[in-house]
Amino acid sequence: MTPADGAAPRVLVVWCPAWERGTETDARAFEQVVTLVEGFSSRVEVLRPGVCAIGARGPARYFGGEEALAKKIIDAVAGLGMACQVGVADGLFAAQLAARTPWPGRAVIVAPGATSAFLAPHPVASLGHPELVGLLPRLGLQTLGEFAALPAAEAASRFGSAGALAHRLARGLDPRPLIPRPPTVDLSASVVFDPPAEQAEPVVFAAKALAERMHANLAARGLACVRVQVQVICADGQEITRWWRHDGLLSSLAVAERVRWQLAGWRAAQDAGGRSATAPYRLSGGGEIQDNGIALLRLVPDQLVRATGRQLALWGETAIDDRVARAALRVQAMLGHGSVTRPLLAGGRSPAGQVTLVPFGDAADPLFPTGRPWPGRLPVPAPATVYPAPRPARVTDESGAAVTVTGRALISAPPAWLSARGEPWLAITSWAGPWPVTERWWRPGSSRRQARFQLVAEDGSAWLAVVQDGQWLIEASYD
Amino acid sequence: MAPAARMAPAARMARVTEASPGGRRDGILSGGAVQPGDVVQSSDAVRPGDVVRPGDVVLPVLPALRKLLPGGGLYRGSVVATGGWSLLCLALVAGASAAGAWCAVIGLPYLGVVAAADVGLDPDRVLLIADPGPGWPQVVASLLDGCELVLLRPPDRPSASVRRRLEATVRGLGGVLVVAGDWDGAQTRLLVADQEWAGIGAGHGRLRARRVQVMADGRGAAARLRARWLWLPGPDGSVTIADEIGAARSWPGTRSTG
């Protein structure tokens, strides 16, 4: 039934739409879902917070078919108060797309052998490969079906190893054939903590060095791993094991990050109370495991494939200094993953919209790219202080009446006094505006009508204020 | 666009500005007559390199700020206090950031990243820690280990022992701690003494540039009080030297003659 070449196994993907942005708290909360799915199959693979996968064949046979299995999972996750979508297909890629197909409350099940037909109408953007996604549509290949229709050899010679991989995906095959026989050498890396580590921080530290060792070992043999198994063994013998998607793409830092998520989720489950019997890594009657240290950390590369190499960009990628990464990781261990961010300039009109904050270690693209024209955006110089949430303010004229702006951008009187909420009144010495801004009027949810002002107060401070729905808000200050 | 030269009335000072629209303004003082358009470096100032190296004693700053700081830059292992949060804090760290140093910004969730980038800070080498929490001294110490520059707005007033411990960390690791606030043991203190916005009137124009007087003093080599007029920010968001005299009405870029 399945093709002999790279026989893609049946895979079930659980996708929770709420986790599109991964922060630590998210990763921790997702642990509940993973634990629940673990009740259906012992080998849950976490692709990233919000998405996990299991092999569908065995559980489906046990629970009475794929449809019944998917329904059980959806109901169980709904019982946690979360929404999820489930997809079943040949191979992980198709199953992920199936899970993302909007069909609330139902699982999308692609029949065995029908994967390539299911994939065909999807746009090539679903390959998730930024270069190919830009290139293929320009060559007239809009859908996966059109791309899959190319001869495999042509795809490989034209688009390189990445293209060959993508072509296999588009045809509904597994991206890389597995190396059939596991190598005889042990490629895992482990570290023993003596005395057992009580805190997550030293374990995460060690994980980075371990991941480096594991990567070096793999690289020396020309291999990469599809998944990495993170095994944590506690002093009293209990074991927490997770599989994380790797695909030969994760940096050592990213592997350490996965270890931290895993530990954070485990701690959260412990803190959530000893009564939940579903947590598989809890001792049955254990009450004293709170002060139980971690004795061993092991990283096991799983599903070895030939490394096809990964070309680093020649320009445009700032290499992160090891020392900086270590410092950031340490602070993240103290305060949480989302506490250390790197700013990314994005396109937008308001000062807050021009910046996206990305947690350290994550890669992200701004919602709106920079370098495009944004008519009506703020003129330079930009304000030095941008309030994350605009501060309510009051602006009045000489007589003390609030200044209003009409629909045709006419003001009721020149502004004379300004007071941010709770602060003393300041006399306005000069001002400019109103500059009307009407954004995304075609989308009811995010449309905005504002009138912007620049106000300079008697003490020399300069403010950027807006009037929206009759309310004055201070967006930013130029000091 | 003719270069404009204006002689400052202040004793022993001759100031040269090079008026090029949107361009950097460089050069300055130290004694005798200077030809318009010359870029003059005072001989005793340490000339900071273009690239930050671990062995450097001084981290580079923007050219406009060199004369305000002893040694022409930020001494490694020192604490610089700025009295409060303002664009001046960003301007102080921008020179080193542009030269390749990493900068951690702690306790400033309202930092305007666009303004920071315009001043010269490289956003690719910035770490933002918006809320360091009650254990902020530990966070500062951790980040000093990785970054040459730490810009800090302390969430609360540190005790003398916490302060001394952080100062020792700064000295030991050779970083620079820029405090957006007061810091009793700071080697250098800078503050904005006077400011005036240009380009905006009563209901017309827009904010174009701000002319500020920055005063600097401190301890040891920095004890002498220094003051400079700067465009902070200038019309393109960068920091340049402003004329000693002359009103903010004539912001750089619209000036036609000297």
- Count Cβ atoms within 10 A of the Cβ of residue B94 and give its class: 0-12 exposed, 13-18 middle, 19 or more buried: buried
B135 to chain A, any CB pair closer than 8 A? The answer is yes
71-100 of B, contacting A, C-beta below 8 A: 85-87, 90
Q: Which domains does chain B possess?
A: 58-179 (3.40.50.300)
Distance CA A463, CA A431 (A): 9
Q: How large is the average pLDDT for residues B35-51? A: 40
Residue A267's pLDDT band (cuts 50, 70, 90) = confident
- Of A339, A381, A387, which has the smallest distance from its Cβ to B129's Cβ? A339
pLDDT at A251 over 80: no
Of A133, A344, A406, A181, residue with least CA distance to B122: A344
pLDDT at B180 over 90: yes
Q: Residues with Cβ < 8 Å from A404, sequence gap 6 or more?
A: A411, A412, A467, A470
Nearest to B109 among A334, A380, A388 (CB): A388
Q: Nearest 5 degrees, angle CA A71-CA A91-CA A109?
A: 30
- Tell whether B193 lies on the interface with A, counting CB pairs under 8 A: no
Specify the pLDDT at position A304. Answer: 76
> Chain A partners of B135 at a C-beta cutoff of 8 Å?
334
Whether A55 and A43 have beta carbons less than 8 Å apart is answered as yes
A360-367: long-range contacts, CB 8 A cutoff, minimum separation 24: A360/A328, A360/A329, A360/A332, A360/B127, A361/A253, A361/A254, A361/A257, A361/A328, A361/A329, A361/A332, A361/A337, A362/A22
More confident residue, A176 or A316: A176
Interface test with A, best of B86, B113, B191, B232 (most A CBs within 10 A): B113
Q: Do B123 and A344 touch (CB under 8 A)?
A: yes
Contacts of B124 in chain A (CB under 8 A): 318, 342
CB contact under 8 A, B115 and A384: yes
Class of domain A10-170: alpha beta
Q: Do A351 and B123 touch (CB under 8 A)?
A: no
Section B181-195 average pLDDT: 91
pLDDT tens string A419-477: 987 788 999 999 998 888 877 666 666 677 889 999 999 988 999 999 988 899 999 99
**Domain boundaries of chain A, sorted by first residue:** 10-170, 189-279+292-306, 385-477
Size of interface A-B (CB pairs under 8 A): 152
* Amino acid A183: pLDDT: 52
pLDDT confidence bin for B223, thresholds 50/70/90? confident
> Using CA atoms, how far apart are residues A66 and A41, in angstroms rounded to an integer?
13
pLDDT exceeds 90 at position B251: no
| Rounded mean pLDDT, B80-102 | 92
CATH number of A189-279+292-306: 3.30.1490.100
Task: Please tell me the distance from the alpha carbon of residue A460 to that of residue A331, in angstroms, as a whole number.
Answer: 37
Residue A29 has a pLDDT of 73
Does the structure show a pLDDT above 60 at B45?
Answer: no
Report how far apart the first and last C-alpha atoms of chain A are (Å, whole number): 69
* CA distances to A74, A85, A231, B201 from A44, in Å: 16, 16, 14, 65
Answer whether A206's CB lies under 8 Å from A295's CB.
no
Q: Is the pTM of this model over 0.80?
A: no
pLDDT in tens, A317-345: 445 666 787 788 778 777 777 788 888 88
Q: Return the bridge partners of A340, or none.
A: B129
Closest partner CB to A432 (pick from B110, B194, B206): B206
**Nearest chain A residue (CA) to B128:** A341
Q: Which residues contact B42 (CB under 8 A, 6 or more apart)?
A: B28, B29, B30, B67
Please give the pLDDT value at position A135: 84
* pLDDT 10s digits, A195-237: 888 888 888 888 988 998 888 888 888 777 878 888 888 887 7
Yes or no, beta carbons of A456 and B200 under 8 Å apart: yes
Residue A140 neighbours by CB under 8 Å, 6+ apart = A146
Confidence (pLDDT) at B107: 94
Partners of B111 on chain A (C-beta within 8 Å) are 384-386
